[in-house]
Amino acid sequence: MSEREASDFFERVWGVVADIPLGRVTTYGHIAAYLGSKRAARTVGWALRAAAQSGLPCHRVVNRYGGLSGHAAFGGPHVMEDLLRSEGVTFVEGDDEVPCVDINQHLWVPGH
């Protein structure tokens, strides 16, 4: 992917993130698939890291299991969780120590 293509992709990611409704989450993979690049979930993560201080609701993007894998960009492991909880997002017990959103309750799929 050229620098120009990456820049365009990042901007498209940010447009999707801006549309995630309050109290809902989506996944890196759902964003990538919506943008026509199903295998670009990691690149979606890079776009979110680049936008962490932008005011976009990047905290509403979780991994495919509902895990909070992007918390490092938010100043600590509990900040992302606190932001989501303040929006009414609920959590379930995960297999490990990573907080896990109730994905069945809060998933928003772009384009649906």
Of 13, 48, 58, 84, the catalytic one is 58
AA identity, residue 66: G
Q: Report d(CA 88, CA 3) in Å as an integer.
A: 38
58 has catalytic annotation? yes
Question: CA torsion sign, 47 to 51 to 57 to 58?
Answer: positive
Q: Is 106 helix (H, G, I), strand (E, B) or coil?
A: helix
Greatest C-alpha distance within the chain: 41
Catalytic residues: 58
